[in-house]
Amino acid sequence: MEPALAVTVGCFFALSIYLMLSDSTIRIVLGIAILGNAVNLLIFTAGRLTREVPPIVPSGYSAPFEATANPLPQALILTAIVISFSLFAFILVLVYRAYQELGTDSSQEMRLAEPVDEPGAPRGY
């Protein structure tokens, strides 16, 4: 089970990097979302995958009898899902607003919207 998840995580990372290197801002946003899911799946896999073994320590013992799943990565992933969804929604609104203003979703064409005649920002103090 874990080797299959490792291959899936690798495919998610490869796909997200491919999408983030694209010219279209929608593809960049989708790449960021897939990257967040890949990291969540990586953390979940690192927390050990065991079925039907609750992480409960019997009374009188200091450790469980069998190997159990670590509940900390699961709690971290739950928090990360909420944060990544809100980040995805925020970035999606920014991309949509930029598309409304500039009329394009190409990052190269968005650079043409910068003023040419004005001097650049100061490079030092």
Per-residue pLDDT tens over the stretch 19-65: 999 999 999 999 999 999 999 999 888 877 666 667 777 788 887 77
- Does any domain span residue 61? no
Residue 117 lies in a domain: no
Would 58 be classed as within a structural domain?
no
Q: Which of 42-51, 53-62, 98-107, 113-122 has the highest mean pLDDT?
A: 98-107
For residues 74 and 4, what is the distance between their CA atoms, to the nearest angstrom? 19
Residue 12 inside a domain? The answer is: yes
Q: Mean pLDDT over residues 100-114, rounded? A: 81
Task: Yes or no: say if 67 and 52 are a contact pair by the CB < 8 Å rule.
Answer: no
What pTM was computed for the model?
0.74
Provide the domain limits for residue 38.
2-52+68-111
Query: With 0-12 CB in 10 A as exposed, 13-18 as middle and 19+ as buried, what is 52?
Result: exposed
Helix axes 25-46, 2-20, angle to 10 degrees: 160
Rounded-to-integer distance, Cα 112 and Cα 101, Å: 13
Looking at residue 80, its pLDDT comes to 92
Of 99, 121, 102, 103, nearest to 113 by C-alpha is 102
Q: Is the dihedral of CA 19, 25, 29, 35 positive or negative?
A: positive
**CATH number of the domain bearing residue 98:** 1.10.287
Alpha helices in 22-106 (DSSP H): 25-46, 71-102
Share of the chain above pLDDT 70, in %: 90
Domain count, the chain: 1
Instruction: Decide if 16 is inside a domain.
Output: yes
